[in-house]
Amino acid sequence: MKNIFSVILMMFAILAMVSCDSLNPSERLMVGKWYYSKSMNNDGVETTLEYHDDKTYIVNGTVRFVWDVDDGVQEVVILSLTGKGTWSIIDKMQNTNTTDVDIKIVDVSFQGENLTDDRTVIQELIASEKKRLYYDKVIPWKKECIGEYSSRIITLNETTCVTVDKDGDKTEMRRIK
């Protein structure tokens, strides 16, 4: 009985070593939970990304947009974003393949000095705008997010990951776990 238990423990140890060996040194550094935030004018995005050692990842975030609608009136839209997929790092290129994305409209509101005080008009406008946003923005964004994406790693260490995509857009994440 003791020998069987020892063999089983040894098999688990071998499996654990094999799964660890499937990651290259850069991938080992990438495993963990990362935080990304970017603000531009009134718009912003805030996400956490979790890279797992089985080369899968999940992302959760919030996106905020502010659009000028009319003279002195702005529309504020808040979206939640979740996604998952697979990832790898080969020759300083971070490659992801997003397989599932969900984008939800969390809130739509209007602000500004020329905004009407009529609550009924505002509620109807919000309902109409949520429907428009879903079809004009959310559905196309979901389709854009699905698929493969690559970016060159500039810096990757225990605390920071900086990448640049093919358009020259720089992304800087910091480790939170």
pLDDT digits (tens, 9 = 90+) for 110-136: 988 888 888 898 899 899 999 999 999
Percent of the chain at pLDDT > 70 equals 88
Q: Cα separation of 45 and 137, whole Å? A: 16
| Its pTM surpasses 0.85 | no
- Give the residue-averaged pLDDT of 59-79: 90
Residue 1: its pLDDT value, please? 44
pLDDT at residue 21, rounded to an integer? 55
CB neighbours (10 Å) of residue 163?
A: 19
* Residue 121, pLDDT score: 86
| Tokens coding 161 | 């990951």
pLDDT at 17: 45
What is the largest distance, in Å, between two alpha-carbon atoms of the chain?
Answer: 81
Q: What distance in Å separates the CA atoms of residue 78 and residue 62, rounded to the nearest whole number?
A: 7
Q: Which residues pair with 164 in a beta bridge?
A: 152, 170
Antiparallel, parallel or unpaired: β 56-70 and 160-165: unpaired
Q: Write down the residue that tokens 């020259």 correspond to.
A: 168
- CA gap 34, 6 in Å, rounded: 38
Q: Which domains does the chain have, with CATH numbers?
A: 25-175 (2.40.128.370)
Q: Is 5 helix (H, G, I), strand (E, B) or coil?
A: helix
What mean pLDDT value characterizes the chain? 87
Task: Please report, as a single letter, which amino acid is at residue 105.
Answer: I
Our CA angle for 35, 36, 39, nearest 5°, is: 145
**Please, which pLDDT band fits residue 6 given cuts at 50, 70 and 90?**
very low
pLDDT band, residue 159 (cuts 50/70/90): very high
Residue-wise pLDDT tens digits, 28-46? 999 999 999 998 888 899 9
Please provide residue 131's backbone torsions phi and psi, each rounded to the nearest 5 degrees. Answer: -65, -45
Q: Indicate the helix (H) or strand (E) that contains 144.
A: helix 139-145
- pLDDT of 9: 42
Token pair belonging to 77: 């839209």
Q: Between 99 and 1, where is the model more confident?
A: 99
pLDDT at 67: 87
In total, the chain counts a number of residues equal to 177
pLDDT surpassing 50 at residue 10: no
At residue 33, the pLDDT reads 97
